[in-house]
Amino acid sequence: MQNCIYYRNFLWFLWGFSVFSQAQTSWQVPITSYGHPDLQGVWTSASVTTLERDKALGETLVVDVEEARRLEQQSALNVLTEADSAPSDPNRPPPTDGDTDAGYNAFWIDPGTRLAEIDGDYRTSFIVNPEDGQIPYSAAAGIAFFQYGQDSGYDGPEQRPLGERCMVGFGSSGGPPMLPVLYNNNYQIVQNKSYVLILAEMNHDARIIRLNDEHINDAFQPWLGDSVGYWEKNTLVVETINFHPQQSFRFAIKHSLYLPQTAKVTERFTRTGKERILYEFTVEDSGAYTQPWAAEIPFRKTDSPMYEYACHEGNYALPGILAGARREETSK
């Protein structure tokens, strides 16, 4: 009798494994009419996972589901109150130093609510190498950060961050590397036989990747770098160099990144499921970092539209910022 029970359970195991295997193998990478893997669609990278890991977590890259839910609950962006979402009072007094209620209300914020999940693993940072989850900055990078702080001011628009000037999105949302920020974390991918276009919802940054081409000479330094790609089986590999010199410092609430114009970023886009793209990138620069560093970010397909990002250089906010500095100078 006992042997029969064992045998029956074994048959159930084989049946379950067969069903599971068929479910895993039934999906195939979609192919375009010209034979390339199809990456097209609207994707989101929104997540409470950050580029660099909380140092308190040490080398812990992966946590179980219970710890993931706890970390998500503790995320500052997940504890917004009803008051944070309330409409702003148009008659409120001007903000003072240290006023934390001077920016957006929470209606505009959409950073994601979950940790990044890759192959069932919940990630505490996008960085996977080095193992401590930190960007391995060199001493030269530290000096560059210090100099940037000394040079940044309010004397003219050229000293303000590019996001304020509406030249590119905040942080490194347009990339490369493409990193999620506080809102507008959607990307639309359009491709044909010779090009791949990645349109970032943040500031409508558009990067056109030339396939099977050569890099243009060093004098060509576009805002998002010079990107050339090729297919490696089912993976789109993109190499970007010659970054614009004014885009070396990329600041956002969720990350701060120094990426000099001499850096090289190698990205890999792999369709891993019907609604998934695994986005991997490696950043190299012997002057800025003590070693190359690498990260992984899951892109999820979304039905959300690409919202208009109505921002242009010279809008009323920038004159207001500079006028505030002039007023402060006259009061001293």
Q: Phi and psi of 52, rounded to 5°?
A: -100, 150
Q: Name the token pair of 322.
A: 């500079």
Residue 159 has pLDDT above 90, yes or no: no
List, for residues 14-41, the tens digit of each pLDDT value: 555 454 444 445 899 999 999 999 999 9
Domain assignment of residue 55, yes or no? yes
Torsion angle, alpha carbons of 312, 315, 320, 323, to 10: 90
What pLDDT digit, counting tens, does each position of 82-119 carry?
Answer: 667 777 777 877 767 666 555 667 777 888 889 999 99
| Cis bond upstream, residue 136 (ω within 30) | no
Dump pLDDT digits (tens) for 113-156: 899 999 999 999 999 999 999 999 999 999 999 999 888 888 88
Classify residue 203: in a domain, yes or no. yes
Q: Give one DSSP letter per residue of 64-120, joined into a string.
A: -HHHHHHHHHH-GGG---TGGGSPP-TTPPPP-TT-TTSS--GGG----SS--EETT
- State the chain's mean pLDDT as an integer: 87
The answer to the question of residue 201 being in a domain is: yes
Residue 11: inside a domain: no
The answer to the question of residue 10 being in a domain is: no
Better-scored residue on pLDDT, 28 or 7: 28
Lowest-confidence segment of 204-218, 295-309, 318-332 by average pLDDT:
318-332
User: 193: closest CA among 41, 30, 29, 34?
Assistant: 34
- The answer to whether residue 141 sits within a structural domain is yes
Residue 239: domain span: 41-67+109-327
The gap between the terminal CA atoms of the chain, to the nearest Å, is 94
**pLDDT value at residue 229:** 98
Decide if 82 is inside a domain: no
Judge whether 30 lies within some domain. no
273: pLDDT strictly greater than 90: yes
Q: How many domains in the chain?
A: 1
Q: Are 276 and 288 in contact (CB under 8 A)?
A: no
Across the chain, the runs of DSSP E, i.e. the strands, are 41-44, 62-63, 117-118, 121-123, 127-129, 186-191, 195-200, 206-211, 226-232, 235-241, 249-251, 256-258, 264-273, 276-284, 293-301
pLDDT digits (tens, 9 = 90+) for 179-220: 999 899 999 999 999 999 999 999 989 999 999 999 998 888
**Which pLDDT value is given to residue 103?**
63
- Tabulate helix, strand, coil % of the chain (nearest 5): 25, 25, 50
On whether the CB atoms of residues 25 and 18 are closer than 8 A, the answer is no
Q: Per-residue pLDDT for 7 more than 60?
A: no
Contact yes or no for 144/152 (Cβ under 8 A): no
